[in-house]
């Protein structure tokens, strides 16, 4: 049997769990992962990424379904999706990007009652033997390192500086 040590997980396992939605500002949102907050929507890093730079784009309001978005939310959501893709391309240079929405638990939604769009940068070979054989995903940068690299580019993109 292979053993993988992850001592940093113990703080989470033993720690007090936040009550409420991890995406809602009034409840348990983790602002250390926040990259951009607009008028009705926001962009944050995924705490449990599939790949380095895995972003979540979502309405700030606690809403579960696309059909429940206001017109303003829908417009800003897709504007921030576009901005997120442009920032990832400029900063991380991925060879491709997966964009996905999981609506409901059966569709794979981990947080099913707060709509969010996954934006996952991809590179050829990012699913390598560590993932396939070892069942281990290797993320090459820390969340804070990725945040510090991406956050200034969201500011720059807001002023038209990222294409």
Note the pLDDT of residue 162: 67
Note the pLDDT of residue 131: 54
User: Which residues does the annotation mark as catalytic?
Assistant: 116
Note the pLDDT of residue 150: 94
Rounded Cα distance between 47 and 53, Å, is: 10
Note the pLDDT of residue 8: 67
Q: Where are the domains of the chain?
A: 21-158
Q: What is the pLDDT along the chain (163 residues), one digit of tens a residue?
A: 566 666 767 776 787 766 778 888 877 777 889 999 999 999 999 988 888 999 999 999 999 999 999 999 999 999 999 999 999 999 999 999 999 999 888 888 888 899 999 999 998 877 655 554 556 666 767 888 899 999 999 988 887 766 6
Specify whether the CB–CB gap between 4 and 136 falls below 8 A. yes
Residue 31's contacts (CB-CB under 8 Å, 6 or more residues apart) are 25
CB atoms within 10 A of CB 62: 16
- CATH for the stretch 21-158: 3.30.428.10
Rounded Cα distance between 41 and 142, Å, is: 25
Beta bridge partners, 42, equal: 37, 58
Could you tell me the end-to-end alpha-carbon distance of the chain, in angstroms, rounded to an integer?
48
Note the pLDDT of residue 74: 97
SS3 96: strand
pTM, rounded to two decimals: 0.82
């Amino acid at each position: 049997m292979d053993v993988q040590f992850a001592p940093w997980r113990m703080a989470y396992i033993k720690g007090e769990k936040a009550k409420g939605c991890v995406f809602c500002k009034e409840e348990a949102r983790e602002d250390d992962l926040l990259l951009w907050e607009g008028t009705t929507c926001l962009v944050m890093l995924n705490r449990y990424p599939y790949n380095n730079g895995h972003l979540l784009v979502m309405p700030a309001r606690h809403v579960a379904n696309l059909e429940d978005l206001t017109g303003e939310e829908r417009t800003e959501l897709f504007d921030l999706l576009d901005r997120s893709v442009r920032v990832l391309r400029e900063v991380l240079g991925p060879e491709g990007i997966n964009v996905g929405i999981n609506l409901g638990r059966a569709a794979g939604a981990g947080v099913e009652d707060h709509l969010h769009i996954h934006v996952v940068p991809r590179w050829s070979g990012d699913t390598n033997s560590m993932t396939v054989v070892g069942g281990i995903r290797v993320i090459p940068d820390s969340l804070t390192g990725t945040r510090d690299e991406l956050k200034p580019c969201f500011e720059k993109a807001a002023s038209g500086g990222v294409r």
